Amino acid sequence: MSAFDAFPLGQPAFVTNILDRAAHLRRDDEKLFALEQKPSSRAYVAYRDSLLVKREGETVRALLSIDEALKCGANPGTIFLGLRDGAAVFGMGISQAAAEKLVGREDYTVTELRGMAMQGALPPQELSAIAMAKSMVSWHQRHGYCANCGTRTAMKEGGWKRDCPACKAEHFPRTDPVVIMLVASGDKCLLGRQKQFPPGMYSCLAGFVEAAETIEDAVRREILEESGIRCTDVQYYMTQPWPYPSSLMIGCSARALNEDIVVDRMELEDARWFTREEAALMLTRTHPDGLAGPHPFAIAHHLLGRWVHDKSST
């Protein structure tokens, strides 16, 4: 399956939820323990930005049995993600030492998640659950101590909470909102590139929503700061969970009020206007200058693709 088949327009990665989160079970430790022992229960095992998978011929399988995960060295503490067709699905982490022991094995391996998803190696419908596992494992690894008093905290409620035994503070996972937007001026759109992008790749501008800021204000501020373009008519398109480490990409469009670009070189390597025809060639990787748009894996591709195909948008 090609990336264009895996992520048709309007369906980027991480948006197809196949789990019933079954939040009512999170406080039932006895029930969760029983589910963890069931042969039908499964787990996604995350390691940094990678995933533990089992090789099966030319394909890989990310959804492992609990026994498979533990035999590979996954940490015994599980995070309850939810139910799929009545079977429990958990998230698990794995240490660096355990991950390194898998190097060279032919049956199991730890592979970078983004690359597998972009290549269509993982079923698109599983990516939302995988994103949940990755984000939650990362949160626990980074928040093991109380931010209030520094005491080691304990995992509670199926992994959806950490409690401090000393000061009794409760800690919950957070999601960071990020605006990502396509700005148009007539039959042109604004795209930028960062230094770490592949050669020739341009994408939509993006930035974190700041404290006490609306989505609309964040769109206008980020565009102005990074490119010197003032914009208006901000409209919401769709969101995409982004587990790097735990963001929510809020896709928007906007209309430019000026066209004189002033690039913030601290944020971008370049920014420029592209015609609708150029953007269409970039999305299909057929631009004569070797320029390319964002991958279908990312919401930026879908923002740009919608604009390309909507001839009435200005």
Whether residue 49 contacts residue 276, with contact meaning beta carbons closer than 8 Å, is answered with no
Q: At what angle do helices 299-309 and 276-283 cross, to 10 degrees?
A: 130
How many of the other CB atoms lie within 10 Å of CB of 220? 21
pTM, entire model? 0.94
- In the chain, the amino acid numbered 221 is R
Pairing between strand 64-65 and 79-84?
A: unpaired
Q: Do 178 and 242 contact (CB within 8 A), yes or no? A: yes
Predicted confidence (pLDDT) per residue in 180-219, tens digit:
999 999 999 999 999 999 999 999 999 999 999 999 999 9
- Cβ neighbours around 277 below 10 Å, total: 11
Radius of gyration of the chain from Cα atoms? 22
Question: Is pLDDT at 4 greater than 80 in this prediction?
Answer: no
Tell me the per-residue pLDDT of 103-149, one tens digit each, with 9 for 90 and over.
Answer: 999 999 999 999 999 999 999 999 999 999 999 999 999 999 999 99
Calpha distance 190→285 (Å, rounded): 18
Residue 302 · residue 251 · CB < 8 Å: yes
Q: What is the DSSP string of 164-206?
A: -TTT--EE----EEEEEEEEEETTEEEEEE-TTSPTTB-B-EE
